[in-house]
Amino acid sequence: MSTMPTSNGRRLTVLRGRSLAKITLSLHVLGARADGYHDLDALTVAASDPYDDIALYRQAHGTTVSVTPKGAAPTNAANNLATRAVELLRPHLPSDVPGMRVRLTKRIPIGAGLGGGSSNAATVLGMLAKHYRIPKRVVAHAAAKLGSDVPFALGGRPAFMRGRGERLEPASHVGVLHLVIATPPFGCATPAVYRAWDELGAPRSDRVLDSDLVVGGLRNDLEPAALVVAPELASFREALAAATQLPPILLGSGSSYAVIVEDADTAAAIASRVRAALRLDAVWAAATVGS
């Protein structure tokens, strides 16, 4: 998340920020909780691409959102996490900011396991907190309220996410990783994937990627459930594995997958190979950030 205030010469008129995609390198689901959530132990990092751009403008009244391209995120302020973030901080905004317009330029696909909506919310919280000097505890409270992934997105550093995701422990041993991320032309609804995980009897994924980042290796326990919710994920994963000759990791509750590669040049070369082989635009060469 970054912010850049722009002045029109007299007074501040716009705040700009960037929301990064979330990459779940490993996701261990510990069990269902009484509140409907699940306890997790996940290793999560932010990636340089895809990302969304956010601009905040003061307006006469109300909180509204415009989205480019059309349809890439909800424009109903009650359903958009970015506008909900503004609303939660509204009591802490000065009286000369009667309303706010959020302009969202989306590149992070939704329903893709990349945490785009949560990242948008975190970016807005961070922009407003910095500009209006809102106390950290107010912002942290708003983040946890907005969603399980928002506290992570607010920090943006490699972290183990515990509890329902809101308890963070720095994962400072994670250096810069190079990745290729691919999103199929269909999404996975997170609540449906968790429900399927319950119905399958709390499975553990047996696809484990050897890694020194996590004891026991990287795995995503939601993968068996995501495959039930979106059976076409199986052929997508196979095609990605064939094009990269690497083991794909399911990101979050899906539908995106990533492979870890050795350097930026390899990431760029593999990303263009995947674009051609899968006839897919939603492919990114990225590096992890915040290490």
Q: For residues 21 and 256, give the distance between their C-alpha atoms in angstroms, rounded to a whole number.
A: 11
Buried b / exposed e over 203-237, threshold 16 CB at 10 Å, is eebeeebebebbeeebbbbbbbbbbbbbeebeebb
Q: Which is nearer to ligand C5P, 73 or 285 (CB)?
A: 73
190 binds ligand C5P (CB under 6 A): yes
Q: Which of 191, 217, 234, 238 binds ligand C5P (CB under 6 A)?
A: 191
How far is it, in rounded angstroms, from Cα 198 to Cα 219?
Answer: 18
Query: Among residue numbers 13 through 42, which ones bind ligand C5P (CB under 6 A)?
Result: 37-38, 40
* Three-state secondary structure call for residue 21: strand
For ligand C5P, give the closer residue by CB, 3 or 118.
118
Which of 86, 68, 88, 64 is closest to 76 using CA atoms? 64
Q: Minimum distance from CB of 114 to ligand C5P (Å)? A: 13
Crossing angle of the two packed helices 81-89 and 136-146, in degrees rounded to 10: 140
149 is catalytic: yes
Judged by CB under 6 A, the number of residues near ligand C5P is 11
Q: Which sign does the torsion angle of CA 224, 172, 165, 179 carry?
A: negative
State the minimum distance, in angstroms, from the CB of residue 143 to ligand C5P: 11
Residue 149 interacts with ligand C5P (CB under 6 A): yes or no: yes
**Cβ closer to ligand C5P: 111 or 165?**
165
Known active-site residue 130: no
* Per CB under 6 A, 126 contacts ligand C5P: no
- In this structure, what token pair is assigned to residue 226? 């995501």
Say if residues 192 and 209 touch (Cβ distance below 8 Å). Answer: no
Shortest Cβ distance from residue 206 to ligand C5P (Å)? 21
Q: Which of 22, 52, 106, 221 is catalytic?
A: 22
Under a CB-based contact definition with an 8 Å cutoff, are residues 47 and 288 in contact? yes
| Part in contact with ligand C5P (CB under 6 A); list of ranges 10-18, 132-140, 190-198, 262-270 | 190-198
Contacts of 70 (CB under 8 A, 6+ apart): none
How near is the Cβ of 243 to ligand C5P at its closest, in Å?
Answer: 30
Place of tokens 């609804």: 189
Using CB under 6 A, which of the segments 59-67, 82-90, 142-150, 255-263 binds ligand C5P? 142-150
**Residue 40 Cβ vs ligand C5P, minimum distance, rounded to whole Å:** 5
Angle (CA) 57-63-64 rounded to 5° is 80
Give the one residue of 17, 50, 147, 252 binding ligand C5P; rule: CB under 6 A: 147
Q: Which is nearer to ligand C5P, 121 or 278 (CB)?
A: 121
- Rule CB under 6 A: which residues touch ligand C5P? 37-38, 40, 147-149, 164-165, 190-191, 194
Q: Which residues are catalytic?
A: 22, 149
